[in-house]
Amino acid sequence: MRREGPGTTPTAATSRPPRPTGATARPQGPAAPTTATARPADFGSVRPGWLRHRGLARGGVLLLAATAPFFDVLRLDLPSRSAVLLGRHLWLNDLYLLLLLLLGTMFAFAAVSVVLGRVFCGWLCPQTTVTAVALATVRLLSPRRPPLPEPRSPAELAGWRRFLFHAAAAAASLVGAFALSAYFVSPARLVGNLVSLPALPERPVLLLFLGLAAGLFLDAAVLRQRLCLVCPLGAAMSLLRGESALQVGVPRDRLAEACGRCTACRRLCPFGLDPRRPDPRLCTNCGECLVACAAVSAVRGRERPLRFGFGAPGAAEAKALETSLPGRSLALGRTVLAGALAAALLAAFALGLIRRPPVGLAVERVPGRPAAFHILVRNQMSRPLTVELAVAPPAGWQATLTARRLPLAPARPARVSLALLPPPDATAGPYPFQVVARPHPGPGRTMRLRSAVFLP
């Protein structure tokens, strides 16, 4: 009698009388193993559109980090005891520029962390990119591929598969160590040391290269996301995170209905977190859980319940979490203050770097000779320069330079002797003079240095 009720059609009653209701209700039940029907091909089609750019962001940052020292964007030149920044060598007397850059970057991270949490860790950090590439390689070599691309461990591989993974990790570590070593030694000097490796021309350079290679291999093969747990930058971003910052969640009124016993999001999280009850201190907002939720929801024919939102997601925000930015709930005061400080510090750094001359000048007095000096000229650029020297002596005096045109290698100094000959009627006292240095080729700022000679 129950199967012949008003809710039963004659077709349903005659086709499969014993299981009409159970067959339609089974995918709706909380214990239905719907994740097993998801195919790996579903992930690309159901992935959120904005999340597809995460790979481009990670690849761009990794490419920038690998090529920055070769184009003199940023590196430390240990042999010359200087830092290279945007093609300019910075010494200890330029420490204020590095301090402005460091403080500006720190306040910029603070402003982003208040609103977006640890989004840098999940989208732009090179360490996270290395971890993602290592886990993707393990999944590619694994003979047993689960329906969801869960994080795997190289320990699960056996035989030639594990050997192939370790060989790939070792090759990638050598390439990465070469790029990282260029942050401390000039690329030309590094290549020269590696080419003449059996002769060991500079043992510290070789030890630096091998140490970095070993560290990268250990990171890719063993540590991976474990390093994120002890990262000081990630811990600082977690502390600065506001209560209404971006986070993943499910509306509370849909938690039991939409998710049931499904744990696909937790299995896909690199840290094993449950996005339905997120831990803001560890969540990097990478969006991996959204991929799993989107695939399962597509198989079930439902809307994806897991979404990004600002603050704890509630029932009223179920459909507006990814597009709304409730300004009242954000810590606008801290965000605006940190952003303004970051902009001011970075603007001061850029202004100081632009106004910094390409040539450094210094005048030293020769002991025992009041009218004799040493002029120290230093190339402060990362490219060779030719410097023309000129002296404007005091009125009636004669100036003699041992050299007026100096070819200078990057970060290399030169010393020129200057002799000033006073007129016969010169009296005791100070006599000012000026040293002028003009860099070539190309336009450059002329450096002028004023000094004085004292006649007893």
Instruction: List, as one string, the DSSP characters of 297-363.
Output: HHHHT-----EEEESS--GGGTTTTTT---GGGS-HHHHHHHHHHHHHHHHHHHHHHHHS-SEEEEE
Q: Indicate whether 107 pLDDT > 60.
A: yes
Instruction: Tell me how far the alpha carbon of residue 91 is from its chain's centroid.
Output: 24
d(CA 171, CA 109): 33
d(CA 377, CA 387): 8
pLDDT at residue 198, as a whole number? 62
Torsion sign (Cα): 292, 298, 302, 304: positive
ω into 407 cis (within 30 of 0) = no
Structure tokens at 157: 């591989």
Structure tokens at 238: 């977690």
* Mean pLDDT score across all residues of the chain: 77
Q: Indicate whether 148 pLDDT > 70.
A: no
> Would you say 418 and 408 are in contact if contact means Cβ atoms under 8 Å apart?
no
Average pLDDT score over residue span 398-418:
88
Per-residue pLDDT tens over the stretch 298-344: 887 777 888 777 765 543 343 344 444 444 444 667 788 888 999 99
Task: Please choose, from the candidates 317, 140, 182, the residue with its C-alpha nearest in 3D space to the C-alpha of residue 244.
Answer: 317
Q: Indicate whether 170 pLDDT > 90.
A: yes
Q: Which band of pLDDT confidence, cut at 50, 70 and 90, is reported for residue 104?
A: very high
pLDDT at residue 24, as a whole number? 39
DSSP 124-168: T-HHHHHHHHHHHHHHHH-SS--SS-----GGG--THHHHHHHHH
160-181 helix and 203-218 helix, angle to the nearest 10 degrees: 140
pLDDT at residue 25, as a whole number? 39
Domain topology for 357-455: Immunoglobulin-like (2.60.40)
CA distances, 357 to each of 73, 148, 368 (Å)? 18, 57, 32
Per-residue pLDDT tens over the stretch 377-406: 988 888 888 888 989 888 888 888 998 898
> Would you say 157 and 165 are in contact if contact means Cβ atoms under 8 Å apart?
yes
Task: Please choose, from the candidates 390, 408, 386, the residue with its C-alpha nearest in 3D space to the C-alpha of residue 399.
Answer: 390
Give 426 or 165, the one with higher predicted confidence: 165
Q: Say what the pTM is.
A: 0.68
Q: Indicate whether 124 pLDDT > 80.
A: yes
Structure tokens at 364: 């030293």
Task: Please choose, from the candidates 402, 390, 393, 375, the residue with its C-alpha nearest in 3D space to the C-alpha of residue 439.
Answer: 390
Each domain of the chain, given as residue ranges in start order, spans 32-67+117-325, 357-455
Per-residue pLDDT tens over the stretch 253-306: 666 666 777 888 888 887 878 887 767 777 888 888 888 888 888 887 777 888
Q: Which residue has the tokens 């050598």?
A: 174
d(CA 78, CA 181): 11
> Would you say 154 and 168 are in contact if contact means Cβ atoms under 8 Å apart?
no
Task: Please choose, from the candidates 49, 54, 35, 52, the residue with its C-alpha nearest in 3D space to the C-alpha of residue 298.
Answer: 35
Percent of the chain residues past pLDDT 90, beyond the cut: 10
Q: Indicate whether 66 pLDDT > 50.
A: yes
Q: Indicate whether 28 pLDDT > 90.
A: no
- Per mean pLDDT, which of 147-151, 153-157, 219-223 is the most reliable? 219-223
- Per mean pLDDT, which of 19-28, 53-62, 160-169 is the most reliable? 160-169
pLDDT at residue 167, as a whole number? 92
Q: Which band of pLDDT confidence, cut at 50, 70 and 90, is reported for residue 213?
A: very high
Helix (H, G, I), strand (E, B) or coil at 286: coil
Average pLDDT score over residue span 349-353:
90
Q: Buried b vs exposed e over 283-308: b needs ≥16 C-beta within 10 Å?
A: bbbbbbbbbbbbbbbbbbeeebbbbb
> Would you say 247 and 308 are in contact if contact means Cβ atoms under 8 Å apart?
yes
pLDDT at residue 149, as a whole number? 59
* SS percent in the chain: helix, strand, coil, step 5: 50, 20, 35
Q: Which residues contact 69 (CB under 8 A, 6 or more apart)?
A: 75, 84, 179, 182, 183, 187
Q: Which band of pLDDT confidence, cut at 50, 70 and 90, is reported for residue 345?
A: very high
Q: Which band of pLDDT confidence, cut at 50, 70 and 90, is reported for residue 100?
A: very high
